[in-house]
Amino acid sequence: MPRLRVVRTAKEVLVIICDGELIGKEFRQGELKLKIDKSFYGGKEASVEECLAALREATIANMIGSIVERAIEEGFVDRENVIQIRNVPHAQMVRM
């Protein structure tokens, strides 16, 4: 199940989504390193629909895991902008 964390400031809505089973893990591939730290990625359990609703409000988003495919399907990110580290998809989004 995805983990969702939303951080709101005066001007920004940061949405952080990560597959729960990935939290605490680290993946390396060549020069790339992806450390999935609980202090940043550890949010509340949420459904995919709740995650997509949060992405609709996001000005900035950071996504790791299965939510990335849904974010592509919903038009939040382009497949070409997704990186894979040890077959773990990672995408970021900025809405201007």
pLDDT value, residue 54: 98
pTM: 0.93
CB 3 within 8 A of CB 17: yes
Phi, psi of 10, deg, nearest 5: -60, -35
Both structure tokens of 20? 């729960």
Per-residue pLDDT of the chain (96 residues; tens, 9 = 90+): 899 999 999 999 999 999 999 999 999 999 999 999 999 999 999 999 999 999 999 999 999 999 999 999 999 999 999 999 999 999 999 998
Mind listing the domains of the chain with CATH numbers? 2-94 (3.30.1860.10)
pLDDT value, residue 96: 84
User: What is the Cα Rg of the chain in Å?
Assistant: 13
The full length of the chain comes to 96
